[in-house]
Amino acid sequence: MTPLQYIQFWYHAVSNTRTTILFRPSIYAINFAELKDRYSIKALFFDYDDTLLPFKELSLPHRTMGLLKKLNKSGFKLVIVSNCVEKRKPLLVATFADLPVTIIGNAHKPSTYGFIEALKIVQVDANHACMIGDHASTDLGGAFAAGLQCGILVKSYSKLFGGNRSDIISRTVLQIESYLFRFMYERKVTVK
Ligand SMILES: [Mg+2]
């Protein structure tokens, strides 16, 4: 992430009033019907590691697969935008062999490339897509820069449910960022 992208993310977080930002403990605590009915969301963009499963774990939890199948049945287009290296992509493709999920690996979030590419593939406008991830500046920052108007910040999967964890420095940075992001956003909402 470049310093400019980082500054842009924080500027957007404190200045943009059009963006819907929600905070939920996990993907399992999201009211997806509300996203569809209230915010007209047609495509769900997910971060992979520590959002859908523990950090860099190989197999997807059954509960997550069940949720994704349910979301597909209810008409959402499903996308994974991950910074994971191309090496892991065959594993992701195999995991989702029976489910129509658009997988963008090596996305270099917060670069907008992966988001824009995915929007083209699923043929959904940016304002009808919602990004869900555990990392405020990369997941939501990239999505907002690509024009998405809805983002949901969840806690790290491994923190809530156990399993592989990222290193302590990454976890600490993420924790501070999430706290600050939420603090600034809620403050902005209160001031309005
Ligand atoms: Mg993540």
Q: What is the pLDDT of residues 45-78, one digit of tens each?
A: 999 999 999 998 889 999 999 999 999 999 999 9
Cα 50 to averaged position of ligand 1 atoms, centre (Å): 5
What's residue 189's pLDDT?
Answer: 59
- Helix, strand, coil in percent for the chain, rounding step 5: 50, 15, 35
Domain ranges of the chain: 20-191
CB 1 within 8 A of CB 120: no
What's residue 191's pLDDT?
Answer: 46
What's residue 40's pLDDT?
Answer: 96
Cα 153 to averaged position of ligand 1 atoms, centre (Å): 10
What's residue 188's pLDDT?
Answer: 66
- Say which CATH architecture domain 20-191 belongs to: 3-Layer(aba) Sandwich (3.40)
What's residue 84's pLDDT?
Answer: 83
- Exposure class string for 15-52: b at 16+ Cβ within 10 A, else e: eeeebebbeeebbeebebeebbeeeebbbbbbbbbbbb
Rounded alpha-carbon distances, angstroms, from residue 83 to 6, 159, 186 = 16, 20, 28
Segments of the chain scoring below 50 in pLDDT:
191-192
